[in-house]
Amino acid sequence: MKISSKLTYKKRGAFFLGLMMILFMDHSASAFRVEPMSAELATTGPEAKGEIRIDNPHDHPITVELVTEYRDFDSDGKEIRTPAEDDFLIFPPQTLVQPGKTQLVRYQYIGDPNIVATKAYVINVRQLPIDLKPDEKSGMKFLYNFGLARYVIPQGAVATTTAENIHVTPQGHLEFVLKNTGNGHLPLMRKALRLTGKTPDRTIEFEGDAMTKQLPVAMLLPGHTLNVRLAKLPAGWTAGEVQAIHVVTPKPKPLKP
């Protein structure tokens, strides 16, 4: 069974941290491996460079190409991508990985060294439909596309967040607008949401899956806003009780004996 390959960048964006596109079906196939999936870079110098490791576990060679895109989000978390090949030097940009072997690809940020806020990119590692071992039964194959997150960070960049327009809907959802007024990016999956009530000691925190599953995106870029809706008020809290919302670092969990 053939699956349509007419997938836009916007549709693929939702799957950027893993398998993003399946073009052909073959139940015996498995993906090649790519790492690291995410990295932070400086604007210049040795820290503006990195390597991508591509492992081919198959018994046949695979060919991949690497293409860079600039990554942005709107206030509802919808991803927007635009070409950014002039901002990165990648060598080799296309490579053949032999069976059971590993290929290292080097990259370097060569864009504006004077950026004042963190910029987000995706380096796409796309399998090409060549040099594939034919399937005698169906002639169908998986083609994979991995999106590797890369953040170029100016020196001293920090994220500063505020929550505004806090309200409860008639259906009981807690809604607010989260803003990043700083010049650094904020990885929300590493943070917690702290709700504060009418007294300072009245607080509750959401972290891990309890938080990230309710957010439209797991990253808040500099100068961006994010419309957030929590599924429901915390147990024991009433409408109008939430006075402030802050993004905080979760408390360390106690070690198990």
pLDDT in tens, 154-207: 999 999 999 999 998 888 888 999 999 999 999 998 898 999 998 888 998 888
pLDDT of residue 18: 39
Reply yes or no on whether the pLDDT at 23 is more than 60.
Answer: no
The reported pLDDT for the residue numbered 115 is: 98
pLDDT at 13 over 50: no
pLDDT score recorded for residue 24? 37
Question: Phi and psi (nearest 5°) for 62?
Answer: -125, 150
In the predicted model, is pLDDT for residue 137 greater than 70? no
Q: Name the least confident of 9-23, 31-45, 83-97.
A: 9-23
Question: Percent of the chain at pLDDT above 70?
Answer: 82
Q: Is the pLDDT of residue 5 over 60?
A: no
Q: What's this model's pTM, rounded to 2 decimal places?
A: 0.81
What share of the chain in percent tops pLDDT 90? 58
The pLDDT confidence band at residue 56, using thresholds 50, 70 and 90, is very high
User: What is the pLDDT confidence band of residue 12, given thresholds at 50, 70 and 90?
Assistant: very low
Local structure of residue 246 (DSSP, 8 states): E
Residue 132 has pLDDT above 60, yes or no: no
Q: Measure the CA–CA gap between 198 and 237, rounded to whole angstroms.
A: 11
pLDDT band of 11, cuts 50, 70, 90: very low
Q: Which residues contact 253 (CB under 8 A, 6 or more apart)?
A: none
Which of the pair, 213 or 204, is modelled with greater confidence? 204
Residue-level pLDDT at 50:
97
- Structural domains of the chain ordered from first start: 9-152 (2.60.40.10), 161-248 (2.60.40)
SS3 track for 162-231: EEEEEEECCCCCEEEEEEECCCCCEEHHHCEEEEECCCCCCEEEEECHHHHCCCCCCEECCCCEEEEEEC
Residue 238 banded pLDDT, cuts 50, 70, 90:
confident
